[in-house]
Amino acid sequence: MALPAGAQDGVPKAPVRIDPVRGGVMLRDVVPVRRGATRMDGPPPWSPDLLASVVPDPRVTALVSELASDDFATRERATRALAGPEVPDEQVWVHLARGGLAPEAHERLLSAGRARIVDAPRGALGIQMAQLPARFGEPEGVTVTALIPNMPAAKAMKAGDRIVELDGIPVRSSAELTSVVQLKRPGQAIDVVVMRGERDAMGRVVGDAEGRAVERRVELRMEVGSREDLDRFGDGRLAALQVDDARKRLADMLVEAFPCEVRAVVVESAAGEAPDVDVHPDIVQLRAQLARPEGLGANPAVRAVRARLESLEAASRVPGLDPIERAWFRAVAERYRELLPPELAPD
């Protein structure tokens, strides 16, 4: 692994790491139909079981140690590097799990991890699908209604296929399917299980004695394509639904799993006057960044700032705060958003 020596402008990878399949698409043997559970959840990529075999890379450890440097430029460079594509996702998770970091270093590493999730490239299969979930009594899964040329699904799937599983996760709606696919980054492998109707020599669907379509279970493995290719090859009528909620939920889970230490900021104000939020360390740091000739600079720095804003806004919603504390955190978050150029502020 070649780690960056300085700021990197690359796009971070998605949190789920699966080795890509060489040679495109592989069709496995057809196996008997199996009805399974319908749960969509699973352990996050930083769960102890998944990290048990991950050994901290000394070069990543060196970058993490630079997050506590006395030099602001060094801390910024290390933050950008840790958010960049040269650092594997699991190295960020394992260093967060190790703990023992100073408050600012922990916040920087957490912001880098959150940006890797929220801003990672979106995956796509290249299908048009039935948007409505199955009604009671109908088979579960998502029916493929059309395939987009030059996208991965076009090489192995057929119109009429009913997708029932992705990476072992049962799929019940188009929104669930899109959430799973878009958590992948382009080039990663995805296992797809479809139910495919049997057809006769004339291309007609074969039915059983009760008039139901005869289906066989087909297991496919393919590389995930990109949202950019989907937009490029699609014709507008075959646009796929874009879902960011799954990424935001995963990012929120990361913040909950590795919460930042609460930093007390003593602020004095005259009776009846609101405290001056501009003395908050995050506001001071943001103003210093914006005052530089290059502004926020590279893309990873912009992602880190956005992630910090979302963390401040989340802090204002933490249960158990008294009204004065909540008003303070909300005022800091609002000031942080106000200082950001409108085009850089997250929605």
pLDDT in tens, the chain (347 residues): 544 443 333 333 333 222 233 223 333 333 333 333 223 356 888 989 989 999 999 999 999 999 999 888 899 899 989 988 889 899 999 999 998 898 889 989 998 898 888 877 778 888 888 755 555 555 678 999 888 888 899 999 998 899 999 998 898 888 888 878 877 888 889 999 999 988 777 767 777 767 677 888 999 999 988 877 877 776 434 443 444 667 778 888 898 888 876 555 555 555 555 567 888 888 888 888 888 877 776 666 677 788 788 878 887 887 777 788 788 888 989 999 999 887 777 76
Expressed as residue numbers, the domain containing 179 is 26-38+122-244
C-alpha distance from residue 204 to each of 62, 77, 140 (Å): 63, 61, 22
Q: Domain check: are 196 and 330 in the same one? A: no
Q: Domain check: are 192 and 156 in the same one? A: yes
**Pick from 209, 244, 279: which residue ends a domain?**
244
Within the chain, how many helices (H) and strands (E) appear?
12, 9
CATH number of the domain residue 230 falls in: 2.30.42.10
pLDDT of residue 238: 40
Whether residue 179 lies inside any domain: the answer is: yes
Whether residue 288 lies inside any domain: the answer is: yes
Q: Domain check: are 32 and 144 in the same one? A: yes
Q: Domain check: are 217 and 171 in the same one? A: yes
Whether residue 86 lies inside any domain: the answer is: no
pLDDT of residue 73: 87
Structural domain total, the chain: 2
Whether residue 218 lies inside any domain: the answer is: yes
Whether residue 76 lies inside any domain: the answer is: no
Instruction: Give the separation between CA 238 and CA 135, rounded to whole angstroms.
Output: 23
pLDDT of residue 54: 92
Those residues with Cβ within 8 angstroms of residue 327's Cβ, 6 or more apart along the chain or in another chain: none
Instruction: Give the separation between CA 118 and CA 253, rounded to whole angstroms.
Output: 12
Whether residue 306 lies inside any domain: the answer is: yes
Those residues with Cβ within 8 angstroms of residue 329's Cβ, 6 or more apart along the chain or in another chain: 312, 315, 316, 318, 321
Q: Domain check: are 217 and 298 in the same one? A: no
pLDDT of residue 33: 33
Q: Domain check: are 136 and 224 in the same one? A: yes
Q: Domain check: are 229 and 270 in the same one? A: no
pLDDT of residue 174: 83
Instruction: Give the separation between CA 18 and CA 334, rounded to whole angstroms.
Output: 39
**Pick from 189, 209, 244: which residue ends a domain?**
244
pLDDT of residue 234: 65
Whether residue 51 lies inside any domain: the answer is: no
153-162: per-residue pLDDT in tens? 999 999 889 9
Instruction: Give the separation between CA 23 and CA 156, rounded to whole angstroms.
Output: 13
Max Cα separation, the chain? 87
pLDDT of residue 133: 56
Q: Domain check: are 227 and 180 in the same one? A: yes
Q: Domain check: are 224 and 273 in the same one? A: no
Q: Domain check: are 227 and 295 in the same one? A: no
Instruction: Give the separation between CA 18 and CA 142, rounded to whole angstroms.
Output: 24
Q: Domain check: are 239 and 150 in the same one? A: yes
**Pick from 244, 272, 304: which residue ends a domain?**
244
pLDDT of residue 70: 86
Instruction: Give the separation between CA 205 and CA 217, rounded to whole angstroms.
Output: 15
271-286: per-residue pLDDT in tens? 555 567 888 888 888 8
Q: Give me 52's structure tokens.
A: 């048990």
Whether residue 77 lies inside any domain: the answer is: no
- Quote the pTM value: 0.53
pLDDT of residue 135: 54
Supply φ then ψ for residue 126, to 5 degrees. 90, 50
Q: Domain check: are 329 and 216 in the same one? A: no
pLDDT of residue 131: 58
Q: Is 205 helix (H, G, I), strand (E, B) or coil?
A: strand
